[in-house]
Amino acid sequence: MSDVILLFFVIANIVLSLVLFLNNPRSATNKLFSGLIIILTIYLAVNTEMVLFQDAEVKLILSRLIISLGAVINGFVFLFLTTFPQDRIKLKSSIIHMVSWSTAGLFIAGFTPLIFSGIDINNNVVTPKPGILMPIFLVHTIVLIFGGIVSIFLRYKKSVGLEKNRIQYVLLSFFILFSLVIILNFILPVFLKIGFFVPFLPIYILIFNLIVGYAIVRQRLMDIRVLVGRAVVYVLLLLMVAAFFSATLLFAGYRFIGISFSSTQSIFFIIILVITAISFHPVQLIVEKFTEKLLFKNRYDINDVLTHLNKIMASTLQLDELAHKILRELKTQLKIHTLTFIFFEKDDVSDVITEGFQSPPTYKAEDIRQITQSQEVLVFEDLEEGPIKNTMRSLDFSVVAQLRTEGKQIGLLAFGQKSSGEIYSSQDIQLVTILSPEAAIAIQNALSYEQVRRFNVTLQEEIEKATTDLKSANTQLEVLDKLKDEFVSVASHELRTPMTAIKSYAWMVLNNKAGEISPKAHIYLDRVYTSTERLIHLVNEMLDVSRIESGRVTLHKTSINPLDLCDDMQTEFAAKVADAQVTFTIHKPDMLPSIEIDQEKITQVLENLIGNSIKYSQKGATITLTVTQEGNLVRFSIADTGRGIASDDMPKLFKKFGRLENSLVTVTAESSGLGLFISKQYVELHGGTVDVQSELGKGSTFSFTLPIISDTNPLQSSVS
Amino acid sequence: MNTASIKKILVVEDDQYIRELYIDILQDEGYDVEHAVDGEEGYQKMHAGGYNIVLLDIMLPKMDGIKILEKLKNETPPIAPNEAILVLSNLGQETIIANAIALGARGYLIKSDHTPDQVVNKVKELLQPAV
């Protein structure tokens, strides 16, 4: 009996040792434990077989062998416990030396009379006699074993995570082994005389080896609590089964059938039972897989397929790709002939995606209305006769699943016949039921993505169109701008040239360069001259306005004293004033600061305002030019006692042509209507303001201000 | 006051009426006046040079006034120098005015804004040696 166990034990341990070593040949932990297993195996084998030998001499030799191995075991255990679960022995070399040398020494000493001096045999009980060095051996054992345990226990406290887990396992298995050995190999035999379990020691050792081996090899260890929990459940289950069986077998068998078994037989049966019970579940799984492979060629693992489909649904947002991939997976796994996705949008069929059709059919909303009302999966075979079943028959759908998300139906997933012609199994229906809502969500996401993408494209197109429109509008504006420039050039040159000739020749004759002319001729020609001047003036003003409007006015600023400007005006208008028989007076202080202005333009403004005053005054009227300083401004005022301006007309004064809208009535006669507009623009370009006070019949006062300190570039400021 | 020699004037102007007007009024002042009727001729004569003052129009056939000034300044300077150049034009664009000045013109006036005597005064002003 024990031989069987022993043989099994030896083989199992050798296999385990090999497995452990091969798992990681470079790791010290693996190497140490493999070695330990081998030595333990030899130790226990010899220990067990020792009883076969009767000869005292042989027994003595074997005992010495055992004790020598014991020393080696001590060494290995110590090294293993101090190293586990690391790859390298991390002890001080002095310690390694001490351990190695003491172990080697005791190993050799074990074969001499120093440890076991001799042997006593009393009634078949073999007792080796301790020698001189036995105490040292005991010390060696205690120090190394306990030292190892303490070391690993300290490391357990310090460690975290996976390492801590592994050490837990080792400590646990040590604990189990220790408990089993103490209880079954010591307490029971010695105190209760039950020696039954003694030969099973190798098995406990094997269990211990397996647990530690597991702790070494596995990357991810089960939670110890889970492991212990499951083991407890299993053991309890087995005990219950074994107890029931034993009771039935022994008691009922004895009572009802009249059989009694010997204790050996009983135990044998119980062991067989236990093994059967243990192996039932794994064997069941193996048989299941085998028969499934054999009989159900079409079977698939529903979880595998669902996992795969989930991967597919997470892999893409492209509706087309998504739908086709899903259909293909279903087609392959469930071996279906044809599959169809039908998508709705606003109560109508928006898209149809199929797999397996030679030429995909089209579906209209009416055709499928019947099958879109249901809440569940529709299975053809399970339906009663009626409109739904008829629809499915006509469309050749075996199974129809609704795709619903957020309470809205976004489409259908329709399955055609299976390739094998079979009906859909309950596993298939289960798959479809689980799949439908998930697919609905994935499809919805793809649709939303598509919407966003399309919107983006539309947006792009709109932007491009708008840009093109803008570009063409811009080009048109550029063309118009060029035209305007051309007009300005043409006006400048083509109009002015003949006007220059008219004016100049009129002047020549008027000034007697062509001989004397009669007074009447003088008057007539004078009118020609004046008219031409007006014409030239008008063209000049229109060119000015054109320049102002296209923002091409450049102010050439210089430092001018307003007092000088006034004097210039006096001189310039002297003749005209005399002609119009009006009085032109200037009021100015003695001192005025110079101002940064474009002299030509401000002169133009003054000429315009003074000219206007003269035009609208009767004979004998007074025109006054006043210039004053107001803070950081200089104010020019031109006051006349002319006919004044009606308050209704005031707002239109500084506008171009000063005309009433849609009226042919001119507000100002004899004037282009542009002069005031231009004056206002020029003044404002300098940062000043214009103002007018007037009363009909009494006269008007036009004034404007100019800043003394300009806030732009003092000498040249260009306005665009 | 230099009365030793008679001043030589060149009038470059394509419009007949205006050209003949300027020739008349300048000759009346006792100047020796030559003329050119287009840009090409104007350029040739200005290139030969030696004038006390040139009255140069901008808008000319064959070659415009600015081009003439450019060529004389950058490519082929006048053989005999022209003492002064007065640009007479009806173009008022400031860029053109600035350009002409930069290319060597001493003055610029808008024809339609000036009476014949004002033109003569301007010419006399520029005939004075440059200050």
Q: Please state the three-class secondary structure of A339-404 as a single string.
A: EEEEEEECCEEEEEEEECCCCCCCCCHHHHHHHHCCCCCEEHHHCCCCHHHHHHHHHCCCEEEEEE
**Up-side HSE of residue B2: CA atoms within 13 Å toward CB?**
8
Three-class secondary structure of residue A87 per DSSP? coil
Per-residue pLDDT tens over the stretch A633-672? 999 999 988 777 878 778 778 877 665 444 555 544 455 6
Rounded Cα distance, A50 and A59, in Å: 7
Q: Do A540 and B28 touch (CB under 8 A)?
A: no
Alpha-carbon distances, residue A494 vs A16, A489, A499, B42 (angstroms): 115, 8, 9, 21
B27 interaction partners in chain A (CB closer than 8 Å): none
For residue A550, list chain B residues with Cβ-Cβ distance below 8 A. Answer: none
Any A CB within 8 A of B28 CB: yes
Residue A494 CA to residue A487 CA, distance in Å, equals 10
Task: Identify the sign of the CA torsion B123, B125, B128, B131.
Answer: negative
Q: Cβ of A507 and B25 within 8 Å?
A: no
Nearest in space to A446 (alpha carbons), one of A416, A405, A414? A405
* CB-CB contact of A355 with A338 (8 Å): yes
Q: What is the percentage of chain A residues whose pLDDT exceeds 70?
A: 91
- Phi/psi region, residue A679 (left: phi>0; alpha: psi -120 to 50; beta: rest), is alpha
Q: What is the pLDDT of residue A710?
A: 56
Q: How confident is the model at residue A717 (pLDDT cuts 50, 70, 90)?
A: very low
Please, which residues 156-185 of chain A have a Cβ atom closer than 8 Å to chain B? none
Q: Which helix (H) or strand (E) holds A40?
A: helix A28-49
Are residues A500 and B91, on separate chains, in Cβ contact within 8 Å?
A: no
Beta-strand runs (E) in A149-300: none
Using a CB-CB cut-off of 8 Å, the residues of chain B touching A543 are 92
Q: Give the Cβ contact number of residue A139 at 10 Å.
A: 12
B93 part of contact set with chain A, CB < 8 Å: yes
- Facing residue for A504 by CB, picked from B21, B90, B93: B21
Q: How many residues can be counted in chain B?
A: 131
A540-550 pLDDT, tens digit each: 888 888 888 87
Which residue of chain B has the CA closest to A490?
B91
Q: What pLDDT is stored for residue A718 in this prediction?
A: 42
A501 in B contact zone (CB under 8 Å)? yes
Report CB contact under 8 Å: B115, A504.
Answer: yes
At A122 the pLDDT is 67
Give me the interface pTM, i.e. the ipTM. 0.88
Query: DSSP code of A42?
Result: H
Q: Which of B28, B88, B97, B112 to mutate to test the interface with A (most CBs of A within 10 A)?
A: B112
Contact A130, A117 (CB under 8 A): yes
Residue B15 sits at the chain A interface (C-beta within 8 Å):
yes
**What's the confidence (pLDDT) of residue B10?**
96
- Rounded to an integer, what distance in angstroms lies between the CA atom of residue A91 and that of residue A141? 19
- A594 touches B: beta carbon within 8 Å: no
In terms of Cα–Cα distance, which of A171, A167, A177 is closest to A205? A177
Of A493, A504, A507, the CB nearest to B91: A493
A500 → closest Cβ in B28, B90, B92: B90
- Residue contact B116–A508, C-beta within 8 A: yes
Residues of B in contact with A503 (CB under 8 A): 112, 115
Q: What pLDDT is recorded for position A470?
A: 94
- Does B18 lie at the interface with A, CB-CB under 8 angstroms? yes
A487 touches chain B (CB under 8 A): no
Mean pLDDT score of chain A, rounded to an integer?
83
Q: How far is CA A504 from the centre of its chain?
A: 82
Answer yes or no: do B112 and A489 touch at CB < 8 A.
no
Give every CB contact of residue A147 below 8 A, 6+ residues apart in sequence.
A78, A82
Q: Measured between CA atoms, how close is B32 to chain A, in angstroms?
A: 19
Query: Quick check: B15 and A504 CB within 8 A?
Result: no
Q: Does B122 touch chain A (CB under 8 A)?
A: no
The answer to whether residue B25 neighbours chain A at the CB level (below 8 Å) is yes
Q: Give the percent of chain B with pLDDT over 70.
A: 95
Question: Between the CA of residue A390 and those of A371, A384, A395, A431, A465, what are the distances in Å?
Answer: 10, 10, 9, 25, 51
B113 touches chain A (CB under 8 A): yes
Distance of CA A639 to the CA centre of its chain: 76
Of A505, A507, A543, the CB nearest to B92: A543
pTM summary value = 0.47
Q: Which residues of chain B are within 8 Å of residue A493 when distances are taken between CB atoms?
A: 59, 89-91
Could you give the CA distance from residue B4 to residue A533 in angstroms, rounded to a whole number? 39
A188–B contact, CB cutoff 8 A: no
Q: What angle do CA A250, A251, A252 make, to 5 degrees?
A: 105
Average pLDDT for A573-589:
89
Q: Which of A550, A562, A611, A558 is nearest to A588 (CA)?
A: A562
Q: What is the pLDDT of residue A368?
A: 77
Q: Name the residue with higher pLDDT: A437 or B1.
A: A437
Q: Are strands A622-630 and A583-587 parallel, antiparallel or unpaired?
A: parallel
Give the alpha-carbon dihedral of A378, A379, A380, A386, to 10 degrees.
-40
Question: How far, in whole angstroms, is CA A349 from its chain's centroid?
Answer: 34
Q: Does B116 touch chain A (CB under 8 A)?
A: yes
Tell whether A214 is within 8 A of chain B (Cβ): no
Secondary element (H or E) of residue A445: helix A426-490
| CA–CA gap between residue A33 and residue A20 (Å, rounded) | 8
The stretch A213-219 carries a mean pLDDT of 79
Strand partners, A374: none
Task: Choose the closest CB to B18 out of A497, A536, A540.
Answer: A497
Mean pLDDT lowest for which of A145-159, A244-258, A298-312, A674-688? Answer: A244-258
pLDDT tops 50 at residue A178: yes
- Percent of chain A scored above 90 by pLDDT? 22
A vs B, Cβ pairs < 8 A, gives: 57
CA separation for the pair A195, A223 (Å, rounded) = 35
| Whole-number Cα distances in Å, B75 to A306, A506, B72, B95 | 88, 42, 6, 22
Query: What pLDDT sits at residue A719?
Result: 44
User: Side by side, which strands form the sheet with A583-587?
Assistant: A583-587, A622-630, A633-640, A699-707, A690-695
Which of B21, B90, B117 faces A496 most closely, judged by CB atoms?
B90
Q: Do A508 and B18 touch (CB under 8 A)?
A: no
- pLDDT over threshold 60, residue B3: no
Q: Check A503 against B28: CB less than 8 A apart.
A: no
Distance from first CA to last CA of chain B, Å, rounded? Answer: 14
For B30-66, the DSSP string reads T-EEEEESSHHHHHHHHHHB--SEEEE-SS-SSS-HH
The predicted-structure confidence for B38-66, as pLDDT tens digits, reads as follows 999 999 999 999 999 999 999 899 999 99
Residue from A492, A526, A550 whose CB has the most chain B CBs within 10 Å, to mutate: A492
Among residues A612, A598, A602, which one has the least CA distance to residue A675? Answer: A612
B18: enclosing H helix or E strand: helix B16-28
Binding-face residues of B in 29-58 toward A, CB within 8 A: none
| Of A35, A32, A42, residue with least CA distance to A68 | A42
Going by C-beta distance under 8 Å and a sequence separation of 6 or more, which residues neighbour residue A111?
A64, A65, A68
d(CA B20, CA A157): 121
Q: Are B84 and B126 in contact (CB under 8 A)?
A: yes
Contact A329, A312 (CB under 8 A): yes
**CA distances in angstroms from B5 to A198, B23, B32, B49, B54, listed in the order given:** 153, 19, 10, 16, 17
* Residue A685 to residue A672: CA distance in whole angstroms: 21
Closest-CA residue of chain A to B93? A489
Neighbouring residues of A678: CB distance < 8 A, sequence distance ≥ 6: A541, A544, A545, A548, A604, A605, A608
How would you classify residue A697: left for phi > 0, otherwise alpha for psi between -120 and 50, otherwise beta?
left
Nearest by CB: B59 against A493, A503, A507: A493
Residue B98 neighbours by CB under 8 Å, 6+ apart: none
Confirm or reject contact between A505 and chain B (CB < 8 A). Answer: yes
- pLDDT at residue A131, rounded to an integer: 77
How confident is the model at residue A49, as a pLDDT? Answer: 78
How close B108 gets to chain A, by Cα (Å)? 14
- pLDDT tens-digit map of A438-454: 999 999 999 888 889 88
CB contact under 8 A, A501 and B116: no
